[in-house]
Amino acid sequence: MWKAFEELEQLGWIGEERPRMVSVQAEGCAPIPRAFKEGVEESEYWKGAETVADGLRVPKALGDFLILRAVRESGGTAIAVSDEEILDSVGLLARREGIFACPEGGATLAALRRLLEEGTIDHDERIVLFNTGAGLKYTHLFKADAPVHDSLRG
C-alpha cells in the first residue's frame, strides 16, 4: 500500500499526505514487530514459527526492510497479537459485521483493539483494516453451533 500511495501521488491523484501504517503479525511469528522494536532495518529469521493464521506464518519476509521503512516513515508501528485475540476478533467481525474473515483479517482487528486500548490510536480516527481472505479456508478452527431442522436430518 505504501508503494501504491507513492504511485498515486506521481499520477497526481492524491497529495503527499499519508496514513500511519501498522504491520500486524501473530505472537508465534513476529519478526517484523521484533525488528521494529529493536530499531533495526531488517528482521531476523523467526525460529519455530507457529500461528493459526497461515498467511502470517512468515519467518523472514523478503521485503522486510521495505515494510519496516514504510512503518517508520509513516509514523506507524508494528504489533504482534495472540492467536486467541485473532480468533476472538474473527468472531467479533462475524457477529457485528456479518463478515467471516480469515484469521489474518482478524489479526488486524485484534491489533486495532489493542492500539485503541493503549491510546496509540484515537477512537475518532479513520481506520482501514485489510482482510486478505475468507474464513472458509479455516472452518476447522471454529465450532459451528447452528440448529439443523428435522427435515434436513437423514
Provide mean pLDDT across the span 22-39: 98
Which residue reads 485475540 in cell numbers?
85
Could you tell me the residue ranges of all domains in the chain?
20-142
Q: What does each C-alpha distance from 71 to 3, 23, 35, 124 come to in angstroms?
A: 12, 7, 11, 21
**Ramachandran angles phi, psi of 134, nearest 5°:** -100, 150
* pLDDT above 70: percentage of residues in the chain: 95
Question: Which amino acid makes up residue 24?
Answer: V
Residue 126 CA, distance from chain mean position:
16
Contacts of 152 (CB under 8 A, 6+ apart): none
Mean pLDDT across the stretch 137-148?
A: 77
On whether the CB atoms of residues 35 and 60 are closer than 8 A, the answer is: no
The pLDDT, as a whole number, for residue 42 is 96
pLDDT band per the 50, 70, 90 thresholds, residue 77: very high
The residue type found at 84 is E
Q: What is the 3-state secondary structure (H, E, C) of 68-86?
A: HHHHHHCCCEEEEECHHHH
pLDDT digits (tens, 9 = 90+) for 46-63: 999 999 999 999 999 999
Q: Of 17-21, 89-93, 112-116, 135-139, which gets the smallest average pLDDT?
A: 135-139
Predicted structure pTM score = 0.86
d(Cα 52, Cα 131) in Å, to the nearest integer? 15
Per-residue pLDDT band at 133 (split at 50, 70, 90): confident
Average model confidence (pLDDT) for the chain?
Answer: 93
Residue 146: is its pLDDT beyond 70? no
114 alpha carbon, distance to own chain's centre: 12
C-alpha–C-alpha distance, residues 32 and 45, integer Å:
10
The pLDDT of residue 79 is 98
Longest dimension (CA), the chain: 62
Residue with cell 453451533: 145
As a whole number, mean pLDDT of residues 71-78 equals 96
**Fold observed for domain 20-142:** Rossmann fold (3.40.50)
> Which value, in Å, is the radius of gyration of the alpha carbons in the chain?
18
